[in-house]
Amino acid sequence: MSEASYEPPKVWKWENDDDGPFASINRPIAGPTHEKELPIGKHPLQLYSLGTPNGVKVTIMLEELLAMGHEGAEYDAWLIKIGKGDQFGSGFVDVNPNSKIPALMDHSTNPPTRVFESGAILLYLAEKFGALMPKDPANRAELLSWLMWQMGSAPYLGGGFGHFYHYAPVKIEYAIDRFTMETKRQLDVLERQLAENQFICGDEYTIADIAIWPWYGGVLLNRQYDAAEFIDAESYTNGMRWAKEIDARETVKRGRMVNKIRGGEAHEQLPERHDASDFETKTADKLAAAE
């Protein structure tokens, strides 16, 4: 198929002959593909996730809450292998009808509360524990604005730029130009905000940082799409300063390990977390040694 000669048909049909890296999971319909109950562990919060930028938002948040002393934030983090289609199991779809990680069940409420969409999960946890979110209306409005900005903007970075620059089996100049332009514009939005502020919403670290960092910090630190040189990451000096400052937090290091099954060293991967001690005993290197 040559791009220039493609004429869309009158009615699009799913040919299912996509050879891209997401071919096995992309479908034009929602709903479950198979019956599968989700496991439930011993803690109030049950997280079903994977260590992607959207997934680590929640594990960083939970590790921050625990480090602050909120014992009610103890959690089980179960692995959902999206490449294998776990997100289409009936139990997962009951928690997130959109079939995407992360998804959270809060068993401390009666009946248990389901929360999906990473931004909604951050907000739910911030309100539940009264943490990492300012209370006064003006600062809260600023935080909500940045949180919604992240949720609306990141699909251009991930689904647009990341997809066409890094993953797509053909390199399409039109698509790469369009989404690189938008990605750099978004990075400049952050650059200007961070020129005036230590963190996204001022001098306080909040869930806005936790939402934005895994995506935009990830690209600046060259952890996403191998694109740091292409987008001239070093030119975003304030963004880079912020990205490194957050990266150095112990809670962020821990959160990044949870549900991680690829990338980095085996001792940095904690496929599932059911107890704080798992960071010492259940990393991928230890699991392999125990086999």
Site residues (vs ligand GSH, CB under 6 A): 25, 52, 54, 82, 87, 99-102, 117-118
Query: What's the min distance (Å) between Cβ of 174 and ligand GSH?
Result: 24
CB 103 within 8 A of CB 49: yes
Query: What's the min distance (Å) between Cβ of 52 and ligand GSH?
Result: 4
Query: What's the min distance (Å) between Cβ of 248 and ligand GSH?
Result: 24
Please state, in angstroms and rounded to a whole number, the distance separating the CA atoms of residues 260 and 255. 9
When CB distances to ligand GSH are compared, the closest residue is 100
Q: Which is nearer to ligand GSH, 206 or 240 (CB)?
A: 206
Please state, in angstroms and rounded to a whole number, the distance separating the CA atoms of residues 103 and 93. 9
Query: What's the min distance (Å) between Cβ of 98 and ligand GSH?
Result: 7
Please state, in angstroms and rounded to a whole number, the distance separating the CA atoms of residues 272 and 76. 8
Q: Which is nearer to ligand GSH, 102 or 271 (CB)?
A: 102
Query: What's the min distance (Å) between Cβ of 33 and ligand GSH?
Result: 11
CB 239 within 8 A of CB 187: yes
Q: Which of helix, strand or coil describes residue 116?
A: strand
Please state, in angstroms and rounded to a whole number, the distance separating the CA atoms of residues 107 and 114. 9
Q: Which is nearer to ligand GSH, 52 or 186 (CB)?
A: 52
Please state, in angstroms and rounded to a whole number, the distance separating the CA atoms of residues 236 and 138. 28
Q: Which is nearer to ligand GSH, 211 or 240 (CB)?
A: 211
Q: Which is nearer to ligand GSH, 117 or 182 (CB)?
A: 117
